[in-house]
């Protein structure tokens, strides 16, 4: 048997093809696939080319795939769009047994290896998904970044950084390490060049702006109190997403895990997040598997007697 897992997010899209033992036979990465941001045509093109290429690499036909799970970032945000997205993808390869879901679904399946609990995603955007012991699910967060949603995400963190830079440039706030660091990093001889980079060069692209979140972590490591505070605020926002799910599903004493690039900030985010959740008797645990491996689990569900967890740990 062959299983194809596609983890489509706001930063990139990962394709993993395995056998029933979880051994990776082929893998590749492509552009992001958030249909609300990148458009449905890009989602379709990435899906089509990725499936063709991964089958070619593994020397199999599309019809040989037992089942495919693909996540599409933004899927389910607008309920009336769900059948449209599913139909558009299913018609590309009618012979493919295809499941379509949101990227929260495979993130949760991976982080807790298919068990009940809550997963919080904080990458380019942010969103959470929980599942109770009876299989009931609830999403929280993930509202559009345009009006301040996606709290605690890479985009949100980066926006706070740029706002801090403008306030320090104006003299409204005292200058800290981040101010000169950003000027040196991007060779801004005039502070207004920040706008030139973000608006003209980057075209206000969400994923490009979100990439600046790593600079917040760098500045925090240098002791910049503003950046340390931004990351602590992000942890607070993410905890509120988790608590919204916990209250909605009446969850207690279940594990909470995480995925996404924001958590590369390590103790600056994970420390306060764990503390916030501990106040509500929720335990933060390290993810068992990656979201990409979670997509394989969802493809395998009902097709294998036992998930090959140890083997799937090889998938990043």
Could you tell me if 76 and 199 lie in one domain? Answer: no
Could you tell me if 198 and 51 lie in one domain? Answer: no
Which H or E element spans position 173? none
Residue 314 has pLDDT above 80, yes or no: yes
Q: Please write the tens of the pLDDT for every residue from 102-140.
A: 999 999 999 999 899 999 999 999 999 999 999 999 999
Could you tell me if 64 and 145 lie in one domain? Answer: no
Could you tell me if 233 and 147 lie in one domain? Answer: yes
What's residue 143's pLDDT? 85
What is the three-class DSSP state of 208? helix
Sheet strand arrangement including 2-8: 24-30, 13-19, 2-8, 67-71, 98-101
Could you tell me if 81 and 162 lie in one domain? Answer: no
Confidence of residue 30 (pLDDT cuts 50, 70, 90): very high
Could you tell me if 122 and 99 lie in one domain? Answer: no
Residue 146 has pLDDT above 80, yes or no: no
Cross-strand bridge partners of residue 256 = 118, 284
Could you tell me if 49 and 143 lie in one domain? Answer: no
What's residue 190's pLDDT? 97
What's residue 77's pLDDT? 86
Could you tell me if 174 and 80 lie in one domain? Answer: no
Decide: 3 and 303 in contact? Cβ < 8 Å: yes
The whole-number average pLDDT for the span 243-248 is: 96
Residue-wise over 28-64: b if at least 16 C-beta within 10 A, else e?
eebbbbbbbbbebebbbbbbeebbeebbeebebebee
Decide: 129 and 102 in contact? Cβ < 8 Å: yes
Sheet strand arrangement including 117-122: 137-141, 126-131, 117-122, 255-259, 283-284
Confidence of residue 254 (pLDDT cuts 50, 70, 90): confident
Q: How many structural domains compose the chain?
A: 2
Q: Pick from 251, 239, 260: which is nearest to 103 by CA?
A: 260
What's residue 130's pLDDT? 96
Could you tell me if 220 and 298 lie in one domain? Answer: no
Cα–Cα distance, 108 to 84 (Å, whole number): 24
Q: How far apart are the first and last CA of the chain?
A: 22
In whole numbers, what is the pLDDT of the chain averaged over residues? 95
Could you tell me if 195 and 80 lie in one domain? Answer: no
Q: Please write the tens of the pLDDT for every residue from 189-199.
A: 999 999 999 99
Could you tell me if 132 and 92 lie in one domain? Answer: no
Tokens describing residue 237: 């926002």
What is the three-class DSSP state of 235? helix
Cα–Cα distance, 131 to 8 (Å, whole number): 21
The whole-number average pLDDT for the span 97-101 is: 97
The whole-number average pLDDT for the span 53-59 is: 97
Q: Sort 180 into a burial class: Cβ within 10 Å, 0-12 / 13-18 / 19+.
A: exposed
Decide: 33 and 42 in contact? Cβ < 8 Å: yes
pTM: 0.88
CATH of the domain at 193: 3.30.420.40
| Residue ranges making up the domain that contains 41 | 2-113+289-312
Q: Please write the tens of the pLDDT for every residue from 200-223.
A: 999 999 999 999 999 999 999 999
Could you tell me if 163 and 265 lie in one domain? Answer: yes
């Amino acid at each position: 048997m062959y299983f194809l897992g596609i983890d489509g997010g706001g930063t990139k899209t990962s394709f993993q093809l395995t056998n029933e033992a979880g051994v990776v036979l082929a893998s590749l990465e492509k552009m992001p696939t958030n249909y609300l941001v990148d458009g449905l045509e890009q989602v379709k093109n990435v899906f089509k080319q990725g499936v063709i290429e991964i089958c070619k690499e593994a020397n199999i036909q599309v019809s040989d795939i037992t089942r495919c799970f693909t996540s599409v970032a933004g899927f389910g945000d607008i309920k009336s769009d769900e059948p449209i997205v599913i139909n558009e993808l299913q018609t590309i390869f009618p012979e493919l047994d295809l499941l379509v879901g949101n990227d929260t679904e495979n993130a949760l399946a991976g982080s807790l290896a298919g068990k009940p609990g809550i997963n919080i995603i904080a990458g380019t955007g942010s969103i959470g998904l929980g599942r109770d012991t009876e299989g009931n699910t609830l999403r929280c967060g993930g509202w559009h970044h345009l009006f301040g949603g996606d709290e605690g995400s890479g985009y949100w963190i980066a926006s706070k950084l740029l706002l801090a830079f403008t306030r320090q440039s104006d003299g409204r706030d005292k200058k800290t390490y981040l101010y000169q660091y950003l000027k040196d990093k991007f060779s801004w001889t005039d502070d207004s060049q920040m706008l030139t980079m973000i608006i003209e060069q980057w075209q206000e692209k969400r994923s490009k702006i979100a990439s600046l979140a790593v600079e917040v972590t760098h500045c925090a490591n240098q002791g910049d109190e503003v950046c340390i505070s931004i990351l602590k605020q992000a942890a607070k926002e993410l905890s509120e997403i988790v608590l919204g799910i916990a209250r909605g599903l009446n969850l207690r004493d279940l594990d909470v895990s995480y995925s996404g690039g924001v958590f590369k900030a390590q103790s600056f985010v994970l420390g306060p997040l764990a503390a916030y959740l501990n106040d509500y008797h929720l335990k933060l645990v390290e993810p068992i598997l990656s979201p990409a491996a979670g997509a394989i689990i969802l493809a395998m569900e009902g097709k294998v007697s036992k998930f090959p967890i140890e083997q799937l740990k090889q998938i990043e």
